[in-house]
Homo-oligomer: A and B are copies of this chain.
Amino acid sequence: MNKYIYSVDRIYFVNVPRNHDLLEYLIDFIDKEEIKIGFINVIGSLYDVVLGYYNHESDRYEENRLRGIYELASGIGNISLKEGKPFIHLHVVLGTREGVAYAGHLLSGKVFVAEAVIAKLSGEPVERKRVSNTLWLWK
């Protein structure tokens, strides 16, 4: 059974500063705080976002570039190890000025406002293993 068991160590609230790339900032943060296993939720407002859609035939992420500023209506994901380093898998839902929603795997996006709640877990960290050119999963 593909299951891993943890307990909650602590919860961080992080106000990500404006104009940083959201994932780059958060990965730097969890690296410094030695968060190797965790989960995250984040809301706010992002601009110049690239959403990924995994195409299983080509085994590649196709990119949808969204210019302008969007509400970050939802960002949820998990933290685990990939090639020995803390890695964040984050999926997002964005809202336009008219309230229309876009959704996908977050490849990149700049922060206008981002309030992240990060749970640091304790226990033996699970490591992602490569299962194809692009996909790395918990085995």
A residues in contact (CB < 8 Å) with B? 1-8, 10-17, 29, 33, 37, 39, 41, 43, 45, 51-56, 62, 64, 66, 69, 71-74, 76-78, 80, 89-105, 112-113, 115, 117, 119, 121, 126, 135, 137-139
Contact = CB atoms under 8 A, between A and B. Distances in A.
B93 A73 contact: yes
**Would you call the interface of chain A mostly helix, strand, loop, or mixed?**
strand
B39 A41 contact: yes
B103 A13 contact: no
A139 B15 contact: yes
A99 B89 contact: no
Given A15-B138, A53-B95, A39 B6 contact: no
Nearest to A112: B56
A53 to B, nearest CB: 5
